[in-house]
Amino acid sequence: MDRKLERILPLVQKPARYIGGELNSVIKNKDEVDIRFAFCFPDSYEIGMSHLGMKILYSIANNREDTWCERVFAPWDDMEEQMRKNNIPLYALESGDPVKDFDIIGFTLQYELCYTNVLNMLDLAGLPVKARDRHSLSPIVMGGGPCVCNPEPIAEFFDLFSLGEGEEVNSEIMDLYKKHKKMGSTKEEFLIEAAKIEGVYVPSLYDITYNEDGTIKETKPLHGAPEKVTKRIIKDLDKVEYPENFVVPYIDVVHDRVTHEIFRGCIRGCRFCQAGFIYRPIREKNPDTINEQCKTLCKNTGYDEISLCSLSSSDYTKIEELLTKLLEWTGSEKVNIALPSLRVDNFSDELVKKLTGVRRSGLTFAPEAGTQRMRDVINKNVTEEELLETARIAFNNGYSAVKLYFMLGLPTETLEDVEGIGFLAKKVVDEFYMNPDKPKGKGCTVGISASSFVPKPFTPFQWEPQSTPEELETKQEHLKNNLPSKKISVSFHHIPTSFLEGVFARGDRRLGAVIEKAWEKGCKFDGWSEKFLFDTWMETFKELKVSPEFYANRRRDYEEVLPWDHLDFGVSKAFLMKESKKAYEAETTPHCRIKCAGCSANKLNGGKCDV
């Protein structure tokens, strides 16, 4: 271990975040590989180490003999200060080598508020933050993850983006890179070729022009780059590589367990939900594959908990079969199973009985809106009866705490809809007291968590104005003042953070300058409310004469060229428009298993959809 580093580690919080050497981390001989890949998560170690996508892509890259993939996280303030003071550049955890000497630096972009951390990490590495100021072929800075469905605000910092699922396309990018490295190509030569790989978006190959009103006039591809870049998907989840090993952190991270994805995509089509659209089409994984892989992972990591993850676990068609298979061995091995993301309308007695075999905590459901009209607008397709029935099942099975997720600021929302949240929660409380077998001497608690709705690209609400901070404040106050029971507690999401998220989510390239300037002024870790410098952000917008409201609070015409129109995530714009119009009529769309809604995402999978 580097002596300089060894001297500063006793001075920082949780130094184990910065040492590497965790179980199952991959060590290779750097002289025997062609490509060194720095996989960066632009947030703290605890957040990044919880991310499943990183585990998958880390494993696949390291399965290549010619590649050594290492992990990099954003150092916390105290560590950054020490690193800058002692001239220690950003390094990768496995080798301790400086990130700037790597061939490819890949960032996973999971949420908009991590953007300043990307800049900060590049700077800590000793690299210019703008792509055009990094001249040589290496390092190539690439980005992936859900935020690249509109990467325009950060386009000038990246050389390329990988759209959609990365398992296959990353390898294709690495193959091409290796070829060009051998040939001694320039970065430009490599990028022009890379843009020909399906799913690769090279932002420097697109020229954007604007109208006088500030909207986009045209996005023009250059040097033979495609008019539209289509995201990549994995066609068969049973055949794609899944890690047999997870790096097991020493310190307590957010999700410290075996995580296993059971399917991708979602059948529901809730109109506010970006994940529900951009991960389509729906593809399920075979329960036997999942069961075997869980066994291997538990064995190799020593974890005693498995979390089955997806966008809506109870929509997995073979959920009961899978649980039966898992419970055959998890009991004797003292392994717990967690099943997050349950829906209220297919939460069966059977399922909850299976779950009560394992350790129990509270239950969480997401009705998202308080009135039926509002739930119809967002196409949640959950009725009050279903929610109450679910609460009844849960209470009958011994649960006494229920958490309910709602959103404020949804399109067409009125104060009546807001009050409805409290009334609905009250009915859940009443269910508890109506239960004749309720545990004696034990009260029930219903926690409401109300976040602020942020319209996102590739959803039917992508044209909607986001509620202004003032409107959201009024609604939060209104909800707080109209709670009908003392058994209900309510917590809110921080409004300024949602506002900035809203600006970036649907922003264009002109926001790059704002992000860079705000970062220079000290903005980073914006997702952490204690680090978030809202005033600095607002001051920066003003200084650069960029209106954040233009991006967050403006209604777009259907005809407007959107900053992400040259990217294709499967779901067609015509479908989103149709859904948007139906929302205004409070007309619902049945889920994909009842009737195909014609979203077009199945074109990515040869017309196939696992419904």
Partner 1 sequence: MYDLRLFLSKKGRIKFVSHLDMFRMMQRTVRRADIPLWYTEGFNPHPYISFLLALSLGVESEGEPVDIRITGDMSPEEVKERLNKCLPEGLKVEAACVPFNKSGEITYGEYYCLFDKTEVSEAELYNALTSGELSCEKSGKQGKKKVIKTVNVSEHIKSFSLSDAGDDIKLYVVLPAGSTFNLNPIQLSSAISAFLGKEVIPVKVMRTALLTADMKKFS
CB of 258 to partner 1, least distance (A): 11
CB of 439 to partner 1, least distance (A): 16
Nearer to partner 1, 1 or 594 (CB): 1
CB of 324 to partner 1, least distance (A): 23
**C-beta neighbour count of 112 within 10 angstroms:** 24
Compute, in degrees rounded to 10, the torsion defined by CA atoms 583, 587, 593, 598: -60
Nearer to partner 1, 27 or 222 (CB): 27
Phi, psi of 140 (to 5 degrees): -85, 130
Beta strand 363-368 with 401-408 is: parallel
User: Which has the closest alpha carbon to 338: 445, 396, 256, 394?
Assistant: 256
Spatial distance between the Cα atoms of 550 and 18, rounded to a whole number of angstroms = 41
CB of 248 to partner 1, least distance (A): 6
CB of 299 to partner 1, least distance (A): 7
**Given its phi and psi angles, is residue 118 left (phi above 0), alpha (psi -120 to 50 degrees) or beta?**
alpha
Beta strand 216-221 with 206-210 is: antiparallel
CB of 215 to partner 1, least distance (A): 52
Element (H, E) at 534: helix 534-543
Spatial distance between the Cα atoms of 105 and 423, rounded to a whole number of angstroms = 50
CB of 355 to partner 1, least distance (A): 17
Nearer to partner 1, 83 or 119 (CB): 83
Spatial distance between the Cα atoms of 275 and 312, rounded to a whole number of angstroms = 11
CB of 97 to partner 1, least distance (A): 15
Nearer to partner 1, 239 or 334 (CB): 334
CB of 78 to partner 1, least distance (A): 14
DSSP for 213-274, written as a single string: TSSEEEEEE-TT--SSEEPB--S-TTTS---S---B-SS--SS-SEEEE-EES-S---TT-S
SS3 416: helix
Nearer to partner 1, 12 or 191 (CB): 12
Nearer to partner 1, 78 or 320 (CB): 78
Nearer to partner 1, 251 or 415 (CB): 251
For residues 21 and 77, the answer to whether their CB atoms sit within 8 Å is: no
Chain residues binding partner 1 by CB under 8 A are: 1, 3, 6-7, 9-10, 15-16, 18-23, 248, 250-252, 298-304, 334, 359
DSSP class of residue 104 equals E
Nearer to partner 1, 302 or 439 (CB): 302
Nearer to partner 1, 209 or 356 (CB): 356
CB of 13 to partner 1, least distance (A): 11
CB of 305 to partner 1, least distance (A): 11
Nearer to partner 1, 2 or 477 (CB): 2
**C-beta neighbour count of 165 within 10 angstroms:** 23
- Per-residue three-class SS string for 583-602: HHCCCCCCCCCCCCCCCCHH
Sign of CA dihedral 340, 341, 346, 347: positive
Tracing tokens 């919880």 back to the chain, one arrives at 50
Spatial distance between the Cα atoms of 233 and 230, rounded to a whole number of angstroms = 10
CB of 359 to partner 1, least distance (A): 7
Contacts of 486 (CB under 8 A, 6+ apart): none
Nearer to partner 1, 179 or 299 (CB): 299
Element (H, E) at 144: strand 140-144
Spatial distance between the Cα atoms of 24 and 244, rounded to a whole number of angstroms = 10
Nearer to partner 1, 360 or 521 (CB): 360
Nearer to partner 1, 14 or 373 (CB): 14
DSSP class of residue 126 equals T
**C-beta neighbour count of 436 within 10 angstroms:** 5
Element (H, E) at 402: strand 401-408
CB of 9 to partner 1, least distance (A): 6
